């Protein structure tokens, strides 16, 4: 609980209109997409770095937690106020400051919705590729904090590949600028990279300088159906080794397909084992050629059927298939454990077989889909949280899945972050000394542990 | 109707992913979580878990929803947020009671087939004293301070002669020997020997009291399309405004009365030109009367099965696109005005109708130019516009700008509520784009023929 005096102090900094302490408001800032709830003591809506700086200085003096928040759409609990305190909502800082068409860069505030920014630059013939599936509502600030990825990562990389510089308020209240407005820049340590993906534990980002690309002239979308997952995996390798990098290379395993089919009757063949959704982009001619080449590779490697969308409308239909998975899975069981593991591309098939065996052993419902192009698999285990025994079995299975993934030389989180969801497992991937280095960095920047406490590192 | 406690499973289906933030119009204006559909569901969940009571903050959030259904369409888990919010409003109305003025109007006036027209008639006589006309606009501005009516608000005038009143006169005059019969039982205006299709027309309050010319346009087009139309004169308000305020009792009573009004006739279809009424007649009547016994359930189901939106009826059932009507219409309308179309929430999402109205625009000979976001809510939200006028107009702002940027001569839609709201919004921006119901485009052509 924050004292009355402290609330008054905060109100002086931020103005009466921009602080909320009513029960109803606190409830609305207690959750994120992990579906977990922790009530804060107050929510503030700053409009610039100066206000945030004053709040953080007060927090250091008085010792209350401060938790930054974008849209609250994260999957690892990065924006949850697990120890109470003040939620700093960046919803008001939602302006696109500049789009520089000469230098192909843009400057934005953290509360800008990723999709809206993409449409704004696309209107000018430019392209901001990172495309987390929540892009219509998540914010760029949140994307920076979690280093969000998406299907296009296979060709275009993830958020960190587009952040050139930041204005950031450090946990102790100092405002610093990192990076530069240029593509090159090596002055001092690369603090930009340190901040991107730091899950709101090392500072609150208040301005972001982003790199833009020219918008590709054309895209072509297709999907291929396989009756044996090994053929699909082989196809993925063959596409890449033939020096074609699709802008998207998504796959769905048989359980995902079956689930979608049961739920919405798309009319897929019954004995499908895997499905690839492939998109290429670039010059018109190049795209046509690549689509033809991919079609050939798919058919040569045992694809049973391949469909190429003739126009945008049909492409949208093909994508609907991919997007129908989550709602379809929700029909099976009320709760979903969604892990975003990554393995080397060549190990996808082995990883999926391994995951299925583990799920079967623990008597759990499992479906897998994801980004075959970069080895990022969304492993979904469907449970009913009210069934305690099932929940415990799922926890065991997840630990075994992570062991499997690390055995293949992979990582336990590709794009969601650690937050609180994967905190218990961080030691499986990182060595004691690596964790110590990270903790020391945190200690230097946030000596009083007021910024987003209780995240990433277990407290033991 | 399900009460809030019965919807706990629906509430738990929400996994708090936040997808609705991308489409929720109230969130779009306020840009804070409690304004979003997700926030409102979280509050209902907290209420059911007894974490909060029916506090002022809770009531405010439940009232600030336009019932546009955009959230449930976007929702990956199909959570029916509009119904959850309606149930919360019903809970509030039941526990806290409606404000006196609201409940008096709902109980005593809206629900009475004699009082409602009488009060509206009185108001229509009075309106000249309270409002002044706006030059070159078919709307009114208030003359002095009036509760609930803002200074800038453009109020559509009440019609001098209400639609149902006009119908009564037409029936009474009669043209042939059947006049007397018609006066008594309000039987069909003109049974077509070659068209056995019998249609009951449901006017709805906005068409009846404010925009009767849309009703007349519908009758004209339906007759031209070869159908015989009956307008039961003892029809009532559809009850959706009452339901929207949480007054389930009044909504139920109106549903029963309307059921009775249309059951007097043997009809093939019941049609309306109001998207909200249509959604109510098709879907809500069944829900409202679901616990009234097997007999009522059967009756309301047979009623609901007959309901078609006017655009749906013309295109899917009467198939006017294949008729002589279509060919002639195109020849008459040679000037090819550019028309943009706004999808009413309760037509597009409530009834899944998107193509029919667009086809009608094509049939009328006009050129359709889509706006960027045709499905975005106009912000009316029924009585939301009366209780939260500025908020409602703030939602409308992007719609008005979207219409403006098309450069269209006319904006057509298929709901009188949307028409009034869009007209007001365009007036605020000083834009003179004409606002019509799609059926008017066809009726205009018939006159030209």
Specify the number of domains making up chain B. Answer: 2
B377, B418 contact by CB (below 8 A): no
Helix (H) or strand (E) holding A90: none
Flag if B13 and A89 touch (Cβ within 8 Å). no
From B96, B119, B149, give the residue that closes a domain.
Answer: B96
Residue B176 has a pLDDT of: 47
DSSP A263-291: HH-----TT--EEEEEEEEESHHHHHHHH
Residue A339 backbone zone (phi > 0: left; psi -120 to 50: alpha; other: beta): beta
A260, A225 contact by CB (below 8 A): no
Q: For helices B81-96 and B37-48, give the axis angle rounded to 10 degrees.
A: 50
Residue B376: inside a domain: yes
Residue B179: inside a domain: no
Residue B100 has a pLDDT of: 65
Task: Measure the CA–CA gap between B422 and B403, rounded to whole angstroms.
Answer: 9
Residue A335 has a pLDDT of: 84
Residue B329 has a pLDDT of: 60
Assign residue B28 the CATH number of its domain. Answer: 1.10.1060.10
Task: Measure the CA–CA gap between A107 and A209, rounded to whole angstroms.
Answer: 4
Q: What is the pLDDT of residues A176-235, one digit of tens each?
A: 999 988 888 888 999 999 999 999 999 999 999 999 999 999 999 999 999 998 899 899
Task: Measure the CA–CA gap between A34 and B17, rounded to whole angstroms.
Answer: 8
Instruction: Tell me which range, B164-173, B197-206, B325-334, is most confidently predicted by mean pLDDT.
Output: B197-206
Inform me whether the pLDDT recorded for B332 exceeds 80.
no
Residue B136 has a pLDDT of: 55
The pTM score is 0.92
Residue B120 has a pLDDT of: 78
Residue B146 has a pLDDT of: 62
Q: What average pLDDT does the segment A414-426 reach? A: 94
What are B424's two structure tokens?
A: 């007001």
Residue B159: inside a domain: no
Residue B278 has a pLDDT of: 98
From B55, B74, B96, give the residue that closes a domain.
Answer: B96
Among the partner residues A27, A91, A334, nearest to B43 by beta-carbon distance:
A27
Residue B244: inside a domain: no
Flag if A336 and B15 touch (Cβ within 8 Å). yes
Range scoring the smallest mean pLDDT among A120-134, A440-454, B127-141: B127-141
**Chain A touched by B49 (CB under 8 Å):** no
Flag if B21 and A334 touch (Cβ within 8 Å). no
Averaged confidence pLDDT in chain B: 87
DSSP A92-108: T---EEEEETTTTEEEE
Q: What is the pLDDT of residues B180-226, one digit of tens each?
A: 444 444 444 444 445 578 999 999 999 999 999 999 999 999 988 88
Nearest CA-CA partner of A377 in A342, A409, A335: A342
Q: Is A228 helix (H, G, I), strand (E, B) or coil?
A: coil
From B96, B113, B135, give the residue that closes a domain.
Answer: B96
A350, B100 contact by CB (below 8 A): no
Q: What average pLDDT does the segment B326-354 reach? A: 83
Q: For helices A4-14 and A49-62, give the axis angle rounded to 10 degrees.
A: 160
What are A320's two structure tokens?
A: 């609907």
Q: What is the pLDDT of residues B267-312, one digit of tens each?
A: 999 999 999 999 999 999 999 999 999 999 999 999 999 999 999 9
Q: Which of B13, B18, B88 is the mutation pick for testing A, counting most A CBs within 10 A?
A: B18
User: In b/e form, how buried is each residue of A286-303, taking b as 16+ CB within 10 angstroms?
Assistant: bbeebbeebbebbeebeb
> What DSSP state is assigned to residue A422?
T
Question: How large a percentage of chain A has pLDDT more than 90?
Answer: 82
Residue B231: inside a domain: no
Residue B134: inside a domain: no
Task: Measure the CA–CA gap between B395 and B66, rounded to whole angstroms.
Answer: 10
Q: How confident is the model at residue A459 (pLDDT cuts 50, 70, 90)?
A: confident
Task: Measure the CA–CA gap between B232 and B313, rounded to whole angstroms.
Answer: 18
Residue B154 has a pLDDT of: 75
**B-contacting residues in A 108-137 (Cβ below 8 Å):** 113, 115, 134, 136-137
B171-to-B175, B194, B266, B440 alpha-carbon distances in Å: 9, 22, 19, 23
Maximum CA pair distance of chain B? 69
B303, B285 contact by CB (below 8 A): yes
Task: Measure the CA–CA gap between A108 and A96, rounded to whole angstroms.
Answer: 4
Nearest residue of chain A to residue B37 (CA atoms) = A28
Q: Estimate to the nearest angstrom the gap between the alpha carbon of B111 and the chain centroid.
A: 18
Count Cα atoms within 13 angstroms, Cβ side, for B249. Answer: 9
Domain that residue B351 falls in: 324-448
Instruction: Tell me which range, A35-49, A321-335, B158-172, is most confidently predicted by mean pLDDT.
Output: A35-49
Flag if A25 and B31 touch (Cβ within 8 Å). no
Q: How confident is the model at residue B137 (pLDDT cuts 50, 70, 90)?
A: low
Inform me whether the pLDDT recorded for B170 exceeds 80.
no
A420, A456 contact by CB (below 8 A): no
Question: How large a percentage of chain B has pLDDT more than 90?
Answer: 64
- Sheet of A42-44, strands arranged across: A19-20, A42-44, A86-89, A66-69
Q: What is the pLDDT of residues B220-274, one digit of tens each?
A: 999 888 888 999 999 999 999 999 999 999 999 999 999 999 999 999 999 999 9
A85, A39 contact by CB (below 8 A): no
Q: How confident is the model at residue B449 (pLDDT cuts 50, 70, 90)?
A: low
A337-to-A33, A150, B23, B94, B300 alpha-carbon distances in Å: 12, 19, 26, 39, 43
Assign residue B340 the CATH number of its domain. Answer: 3.40.50.1860
**Chain A touched by B18 (CB under 8 Å):** yes
Q: What average pLDDT does the segment A350-356 reach? A: 93
What pairs with residue B236 in β-bridges? none
Residue B244 has a pLDDT of: 93
Q: How confident is the model at residue B144 (pLDDT cuts 50, 70, 90)?
A: low
Q: What average pLDDT does the segment B11-29 reach? A: 94
What are B72's two structure tokens?
A: 């449930």
Higher pLDDT, B119 or A363: A363
Flag if B18 and A27 touch (Cβ within 8 Å). no
Q: What is the pLDDT of residues B394-416, one digit of tens each?
A: 999 999 999 999 999 999 999 99
Residue B227 has a pLDDT of: 87
Instruction: Tell the burial category of B130 from Cβ atoms under 10 Å away from its Cβ (0-12, 13-18, 19+).
Output: middle
Inform me whether the pLDDT recorded for B52 exceeds 80.
yes
Q: What average pLDDT does the segment A28-56 reach? A: 97
Residue B166: inside a domain: no
Higher pLDDT, A266 or B42: B42
A162, A130 contact by CB (below 8 A): yes
Residue B101 has a pLDDT of: 64
Nearest CA-CA partner of B437 in B200, B206, B169, B136: B206
Task: Measure the CA–CA gap between A256 and A253, rounded to whole angstroms.
Answer: 5
What are A228's two structure tokens?
A: 């044996």
Residue ranges of domains in chain A, CATH in brackets: 96-214 (3.30.465.10), 218-326 (3.30.70.3450), 332-407 (3.30.70.2740)
Averaged confidence pLDDT in chain A: 94
Residue B122 has a pLDDT of: 76
Inform me whether the pLDDT recorded for B108 exceeds 80.
no
Residue B370: inside a domain: yes
How many helices (H) and strands (E) in chain A? 16, 18
- The C-alpha of A74 sits at a distance from chain B's nearest C-alpha, in angstroms, of 8
Q: What is the pLDDT of residues A241-261, one digit of tens each?
A: 999 999 999 999 988 888 888
Residue B334 has a pLDDT of: 57
Range scoring the smallest mean pLDDT among A397-401, B45-49, B101-105: B101-105
Helix (H) or strand (E) holding A310: none
Task: Measure the CA–CA gap between A134 and A118, rounded to whole angstroms.
Answer: 13
Q: Estimate to the nearest angstrom the gap between the alpha carbon of B382 and the chain centroid.
A: 8
């Amino acid at each position: 609980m924050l004292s009355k005096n402290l609330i008054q102090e905060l109100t002086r900094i931020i103005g009466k209109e921009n602080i909320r302490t009513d029960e109803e408001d606190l409830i609305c800032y207690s959750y994120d997409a992990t579906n977990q709830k922790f009530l804060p003591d107050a929510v503030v809506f700053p409009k610039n770095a100066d206000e945030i700086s004053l709040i953080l200085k007060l927090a250091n003096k008085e010792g209350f937690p401060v938790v930054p928040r974008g849209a609250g759409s994260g999957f690892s609990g990065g924006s949850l106020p697990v120890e109470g305190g003040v939620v700093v909502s960046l919803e008001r800082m939602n302006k696109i400051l500049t789009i520089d068409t000469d230098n192909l860069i843009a400057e934005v505030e953290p509360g800008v919705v990723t999709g809206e920014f993409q449409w704004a630059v696309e209107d000018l013939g430019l392209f901001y590729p990172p495309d987390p599936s929540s892009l219509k509502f998540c914010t760029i600030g949140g994307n920076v904090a979690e280093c969000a990825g998406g299907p296009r990562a296979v060709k275009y990389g993830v958020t960190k590949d587009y952040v050139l510089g930041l204005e950031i308020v450090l946990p102790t209240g100092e405002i610093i600028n990192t990076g530069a407005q240029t593509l090159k820049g090596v002055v001092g340590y690369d603090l930009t990279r340190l901040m991107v993906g730091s899950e709101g534990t090392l500072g609150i980002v208040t301005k972001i300088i982003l790199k833009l690309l020219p918008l590709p002239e054309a895209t072509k979308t297709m999907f291929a159906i396989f009756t044996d997952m090994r053929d699909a995996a082989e196809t993925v390798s063959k596409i890449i080794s033939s020096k074609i990098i699709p802008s998207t290379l998504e796959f769905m395993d048989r359980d995902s397909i079956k689930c979608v089919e049961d739920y919405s009757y798309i009319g897929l063949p019954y004995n499908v084992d895997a499905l690839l959704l492939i998109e290429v982009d670039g010059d018109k001619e190049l795209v046509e050629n690549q689509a033809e080449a991919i079609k050939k590779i798919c058919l040569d490697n045992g694809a049973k059927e391949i469909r190429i969308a003739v126009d945008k409308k049909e492409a949208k239909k093909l994508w609907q298939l991919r997007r129908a998975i989550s709602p379809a899975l929700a029909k099976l069981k009320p709760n979903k454990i969604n892990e975003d593991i990554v393995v080397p591309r060549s190990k996808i098939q082995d990883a999926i077989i391994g995951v299925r065996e583990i799920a079967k052993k623990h008597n759990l419902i499992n479906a897998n889909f994801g980004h075959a192009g970069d080895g990022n698999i969304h492993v979904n285990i469907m449970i009913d949280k009210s069934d305690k025994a099932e929940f415990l079995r799922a926890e065991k299975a997840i630990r075994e899945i992570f062991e499997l993934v690390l055995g293949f030389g992979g990582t336990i989180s590709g794009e969601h972050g650690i937050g609180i969801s994967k905190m218990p497992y961080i030691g499986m991937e990182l060595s004691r000394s690596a964790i110590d280095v990270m903790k020391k960095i945190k200690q230097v920047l946030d000596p009083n542990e007021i910024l987003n406490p209780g995240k990433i590192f277990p407290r033991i | 109707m399900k009460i809030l406690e019965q919807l706990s499973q629906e509430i738990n289906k929400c996994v708090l992913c936040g997808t609705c933030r991308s489409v929720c119009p109230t969130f779009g204006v306020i840009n804070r979580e409690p304004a979003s559909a997700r926030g409102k569901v979280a509050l209902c969940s907290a209420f059911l878990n007894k974490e909060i009571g029916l506090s002022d903050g809770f009531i405010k959030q439940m009232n600030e929803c336009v019932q546009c259904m955009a959230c449930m369409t976007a929702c990956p888990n199909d959570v029916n947020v509009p119904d959850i919010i309606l149930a919360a409003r019903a809970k509030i109305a039941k526990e806290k009671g409606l404000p006196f003025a609201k409940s008096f109007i709902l109980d005593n006036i809206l629900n009475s087939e004699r009082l409602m027209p009488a009060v509206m008639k009185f108001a229509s006589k009075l309106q000249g004293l309270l409002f002044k006309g706006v030059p070159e606009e078919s709307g009114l501005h208030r003359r002095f301070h009036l509760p609930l009516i803002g200074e800038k608000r453009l109020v559509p005038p009440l019609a001098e002669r209400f639609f149902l009143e006009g119908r009564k006169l037409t029936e009474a005059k009669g043209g042939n020997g059947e006049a007397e019969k018609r006066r008594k039982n309000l039987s069909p205006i003109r049974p077509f020997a070659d068209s056995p299709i019998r249609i009951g027309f449901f006017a709805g309050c906005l068409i009846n009291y404010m925009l009767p010319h849309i009703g007349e346009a519908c009758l004209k087009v339906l007759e031209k399309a070869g159908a015989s139309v009956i307008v039961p004169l003892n029809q009532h308000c559809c009850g959706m405004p009452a339901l929207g305020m949480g007054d389930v009792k009044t909504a139920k009573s109106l549903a029963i009365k309307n059921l009775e009004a249309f059951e007097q006739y043997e009809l093939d279809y019941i049609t309306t030109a109001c998207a909200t009424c249509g959604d109510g007649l098709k879907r809500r009547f069944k829900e409202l009367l679901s616990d009234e016994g097997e007999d009522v359930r059967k009756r309301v189901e047979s009623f609901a099965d007959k309901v078609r939106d006017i655009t749906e009826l013309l295109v899917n059932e009467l198939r006017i696109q294949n008729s002589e009507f279509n060919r002639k219409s195109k020849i008459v309308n040679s000037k090819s005005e550019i028309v943009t179309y706004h999808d009413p929430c309760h037509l597009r999402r409530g009834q899944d109708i998107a193509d029919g109205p667009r086809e009608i625009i094509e049939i009328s000979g006009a050129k359709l130019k889509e706006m960027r976001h045709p499905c975005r809510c106009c912000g009316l939200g029924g009585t939301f516009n009366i209780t939260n006028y500025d908020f409602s107009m703030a939602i409308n702002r992007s719609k008005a700008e979207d219409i403006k940027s098309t450069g269209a001569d006319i904006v057509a839609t298929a709901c009188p509520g949307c028409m009034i709201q869009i007209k007001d919004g365009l007036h605020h921006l000083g834009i003179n784009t004409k606002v019509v119901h799609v059926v008017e485009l066809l009726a205009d052509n018939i006159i030209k023929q």
